[in-house]
A and B are shown apart, each in its own frame.
Chain A
Amino acid sequence: MSEVRVLVGTRKGAFVLTSDGKRDKWDVSGPHFAGWEIYHLKGSPVDPNRLYASQSTGWFGQLMQRSNDGGKTWEPVGNKFVYDGVPGTHQWYDGTPHPWEFKRVWHLEPSLRDADTIYAGVEDAALFRSTDAGQTWQELSGLRGHGSGPHWQPGAGGMCLHTILLDPSNASRIFIAISAAGAFRSDDAGVTWQPINRGLRSQQIPDPNAEVGHCVHRIAMHRSRPSVLFMQKHWDVMRSDNGGDSWQEVSGDLPSDFGFVIDVHAHEPETIYVVPIKSDSEHFPPEGKLRVYRSRTGGNEWEPLTKGLPQSDCYVNVLRDAMAVDSLDQCGVYFGTTGGQVYASANAGDSWAPIVRDLPAVLSVEVQTLQ
């Protein structure tokens, strides 16, 4: 019998939600690490009971936690993130040089091949890797050192490396995204990097077509077609059919092309999901209606998915790491809100129901499909 485990990071702890394959009755475990911000937790595809979590507060800094039993018990592992060499500077909000300072881990991406290898995207933006199950961390400093690093600037939420995509067909290829620098790709397992932002247009920056400086919010791929990428940018939903070498806009008929999350159906590589948000200053759904939009054509043509979602007076946000899909035959889609709801659809988005309604603000949602 299949089981689904939903890993939820919130402003005040982590929660683990479990259900059988029907996904209509859920057990809620938590809060784990009560009172701490859990930006992200994620399981290893190699060993699903191996979970990693990023735990932090403004008081006591960054901790990393590891579980070997699917989240029942946890142990702290290494939390020393030191930039390689002399960190140098990036640009501050006012354009002046600002020293690189580690603040927190935003995103964790366990290796597709080794349960003890995991990548961490951090603020101030850098990529770290551990090959000893999180005990020690080393920066892949070719990213910051490739040349444009001194010109990167933080987005409103900080200068965070928030997306890490590992190519299932090519162990040497890694995609990452940074707010507000843009997207980058490595074809040598993280040693060297190149910006992949051609085709992005950002009217808010001095050169709308600049090589770096774009506020990418999220990138997603389908594992069967890793050179096709989908992006939710600050404004604009984009797609690339050549591993990021060029991008084209596919916002189409969305009510707003601002948003944070984007994800791909587990079995249909051209079916993608976004949650439109009104604007960068009004971080809530247009018209107070919480709508997931689905495109079955890889973008441009979108349909609102509303059944079971609040269609009046709803002013929550859905943050960039807070949507995921399961891989059951009938693909499940999940997302969490800043209002503390975690919604699930067991039918690819046709209808929705809340798993929980009153958690702390949700920062991240990940799903494990367990056989």
Chain B
Amino acid sequence: MQSVNKWFDSFHALNDINFATKKGEKVVVCGPSGSGKSTLIRCLNGLELHTSGTIDVLGIRLLKDGQSLRKIRENIGMVFQQFNLFPHLTVIENCTLAPITTLGLSPAEATERAMKYLDRVKIADQAHKLPKHLSGGQQQRVAIARSLCLEPKIMLFDEPTSALDPETINEVLDTMISLAEDGMSMICVTHELAFARKIADRIIFMDQGQIIDDQPPEEFFLNPGSERAKEFISQILTH
């Protein structure tokens, strides 16, 4: 990502963002609300189109045409704060829809693959239920499995635990940790600093559309590079 800017009308959501990640790297993005974290990762798969600058994902330049977007999305999975499962489809159908439609898998192959990843997030026994019959944590795990079914090279997480009840947060975090341990490249917007400390290779702290800090977690927590990051950490920890 090079000198990326994003404007929402007159609001400068991303201000001269530069950063790069390596394969297998786990990056946690944090910062106060409205700081542009979500916008940042939504730009990576073109859910928001950046106003200026260049974004390259896995060697593909992200342009406004459908072609580059589809190529990039083929390799990026995304998990949302509100899960965004398809409520009219069962868990397994949620998982098989995209592989059948975009990868051209046969229903049997797609089902097999879906079961594999549902098993991976430990929810295979719920495969034939509708999303509304699952708890929030279960729904989010299904959403993770649904993304994995396209076998992406990078996973984006946009505050995956913010909409969850406290008691189900851990099951989702555990799933993410095990993904991380398997070497998946991850970019994760979250306020779960304990989780960040555990899996992150780097923590990016954002404020007002800018990247203020970009450090390994130990350094970030012990010796944040900026006053604002210090304030943010103390606010979260005293909560």
Asked if A and B bind, the verdict is no
Residues of A within 8 A of B (CB): none
